[in-house]
Amino acid sequence: MSATLEPRHVKAISRNRRVAGADPDKRHQILEGAHAVFTARGFDAASMNDIAAAANVSKGTLYVYFEDKEHLFVALIEREREKQKQGMYEALAEEPGLEQALTNFGSGLVRLLTNPFALSAHRIVLGVAERMPDLGREFYERGPMQGAQRLAAFLDQRVAKSELAIDDTALAAAQFVDLAQSTLMRPRLFNAVRTPPSEDEIARVVGEAVAMFMMRYGVKKP
Amino acid sequence: MSATLEPRHVKAISRNRRVAGADPDKRHQILEGAHAVFTARGFDAASMNDIAAAANVSKGTLYVYFEDKEHLFVALIEREREKQKQGMYEALAEEPGLEQALTNFGSGLVRLLTNPFALSAHRIVLGVAERMPDLGREFYERGPMQGAQRLAAFLDQRVAKSELAIDDTALAAAQFVDLAQSTLMRPRLFNAVRTPPSEDEIARVVGEAVAMFMMRYGVKKP
Amino acid sequence: MSATLEPRHVKAISRNRRVAGADPDKRHQILEGAHAVFTARGFDAASMNDIAAAANVSKGTLYVYFEDKEHLFVALIEREREKQKQGMYEALAEEPGLEQALTNFGSGLVRLLTNPFALSAHRIVLGVAERMPDLGREFYERGPMQGAQRLAAFLDQRVAKSELAIDDTALAAAQFVDLAQSTLMRPRLFNAVRTPPSEDEIARVVGEAVAMFMMRYGVKKP
Amino acid sequence: MSATLEPRHVKAISRNRRVAGADPDKRHQILEGAHAVFTARGFDAASMNDIAAAANVSKGTLYVYFEDKEHLFVALIEREREKQKQGMYEALAEEPGLEQALTNFGSGLVRLLTNPFALSAHRIVLGVAERMPDLGREFYERGPMQGAQRLAAFLDQRVAKSELAIDDTALAAAQFVDLAQSTLMRPRLFNAVRTPPSEDEIARVVGEAVAMFMMRYGVKKP
DNA sequence: GATGAATGAGCCTTCATTCAT
DNA sequence: CATGAATGAAGGCTCATTCAT
Q: Determine the pLDDT at residue C20.
A: 60
* Closest-approach nucleotide to residue C60, Cα vs C1': F3
Q: Determine the pLDDT at residue A216.
A: 97
Question: What domains can you pick out in chain D, each with its CATH number?
Answer: 18-80 (1.10.10.60), 87-217 (1.10.357.10)
As a whole number, mean pLDDT of residues C116-132 equals 86
B 153-182 near A (Cβ less than 8 A): 168, 170-171, 174-175, 177-179, 181-182
Name A149's Cβ contacts closer than 8 Å, sequence gap at least 6: A170, A173
Q: How far apart are CA B165 and CA B180, in angstroms?
A: 20
Sign of the alpha-carbon torsion through B102, B104, B107, B111:
negative
Q: How far apart are CA B185 and CA D60, in angstroms?
A: 45
% of chain D exceeding 70 in pLDDT: 89
State yes or no: pLDDT of B136 exceeds 70: yes
B 112-131 near A (Cβ less than 8 A): 120, 122-131
Comparing C115 with C181, the larger pLDDT belongs to: C181
B127 and A186 in contact by Cβ < 8 A? no
Could you tell me if A86 and A120 are in contact, meaning their C-beta atoms sit under 8 angstroms apart?
no
Comparing A57 with D92, the larger pLDDT belongs to: A57
To the nearest whole number, what is the mean pLDDT of chain C? 86
As a whole number, mean pLDDT of residues D20-35 equals 87
The DSSP H or E segment spanning C108 is helix C98-113
Neighbours of chain D (3+ CB pairs under 8 A): C
As a whole number, mean pLDDT of residues A69-77 equals 91
Distance measured from the CA of protein residue B53 to the C1' of nucleotide F7, in angstroms = 13
The length of chain D is 222
For every residue of chain D, DSSP letters joined together read: -TTS--HHHHHHHHHHH--TT--HHHHHHHHHHHHHHHHHH-TTT--HHHHHHHHTS-HHHHHHH-SSHHHHHHHHHHHHHHHHHTTTTHHHHS-S-HHHHHHHHHHHHHHHHTSHHHHHHHHHHHHHTTT-HHHHHHHHIIIIIHHHHHHHHHHHHHHHTTSB--S-HHHHHHHHHHHHHTTTHHHHHTTSS-SPPPHHHHHHHHHHHHHHHHHHHBPPP-
As a whole number, mean pLDDT of residues C130-134 equals 84
State yes or no: pLDDT of D10 exceeds 70: no
Comparing C173 with B8, the larger pLDDT belongs to: C173
Cα→Cα distances A217→A176, A202, C48, D29, Å: 11, 22, 73, 78
To the nearest whole number, what is the mean pLDDT of chain D? 86
For residue D40, the chain C residues in CB contact (below 8 A) are: 130
* Closest-approach nucleotide to residue C61, Cα vs C1': F2
As a whole number, mean pLDDT of residues A211-216 equals 97
pLDDT band (50, 70, 90) for residue B222: low
Could you tell me if D179 and C178 are in contact, meaning their C-beta atoms sit under 8 angstroms apart?
yes
CA distance, residue A18 to nearest chain B CA (Å): 37
Q: Determine the pLDDT at residue A22.
A: 72
Could you tell me if D205 and C170 are in contact, meaning their C-beta atoms sit under 8 angstroms apart?
no
Comparing D222 with C56, the larger pLDDT belongs to: C56
Distance measured from the CA of protein residue B121 to the C1' of nucleotide E17, in angstroms = 38
DSSP C166: -
As a whole number, mean pLDDT of residues A6-32 equals 62
pLDDT band (50, 70, 90) for residue D48: very high
Among candidate residues B92, B104, B121, the one with its CA nearest the CA of residue B180 = B104
Class of residue C26 by CB neighbours under 10 A (exposed 0-12, middle 13-18, buried 19+): middle
As a whole number, mean pLDDT of residues C168-196 equals 95
Name A144's Cβ contacts closer than 8 Å, sequence gap at least 6: A177, B186, B190
Could you tell me if D201 and C197 are in contact, meaning their C-beta atoms sit under 8 angstroms apart?
no
Could you tell me if B171 and B148 are in contact, meaning their C-beta atoms sit under 8 angstroms apart?
no
The reply to whether D20 has its C-beta less than 7 Å from any atom of strand E is: yes
Chain D residue at shortest CA distance from C38: D130
As a whole number, mean pLDDT of residues B12-41 equals 74
State yes or no: pLDDT of B162 exceeds 50: yes
Q: Determine the pLDDT at residue C19.
A: 53
Among candidate residues D166, D173, D201, D182, the one with its CA nearest the CA of residue D101 = D173
To the nearest whole number, what is the mean pLDDT of chain B? 86
DSSP B197: P
Coil/strand/helix, residue C173: helix
Q: What is the pLDDT of residues A27-40, one digit of tens each?
A: 999 999 999 999 88
Q: Which of D109-123, D138-152, D173-187 has the highest mean pLDDT?
A: D173-187
Half-sphere exposure of B51 (CA within 13 A, CB side): 31
Residues β-bridged to residue C218: C164
Q: Determine the pLDDT at residue A19.
A: 56
- Substitution target in D126, D131, D177, D220 with the highest count of C β-carbons within 10 Å is D126
Among candidate residues B208, B105, B210, the one with its CA nearest the CA of residue B150 = B105
pLDDT band (50, 70, 90) for residue A179: very high
Q: How far apart are CA C184 and CA C193, in angstroms?
A: 9
State yes or no: pLDDT of C4 exceeds 50: no
Q: What is the pLDDT of residues C11-25, one digit of tens each?
A: 333 444 445 657 888
As a whole number, mean pLDDT of residues A29-55 equals 92
State yes or no: pLDDT of C27 exceeds 80: yes
Minimum mean pLDDT among B8-22, B127-141, D121-135: which range? B8-22
Q: What is the pLDDT of residues A105-133, one digit of tens each?
A: 999 999 999 988 888 889 989 988 888 88
As a whole number, mean pLDDT of residues A72-98 equals 84
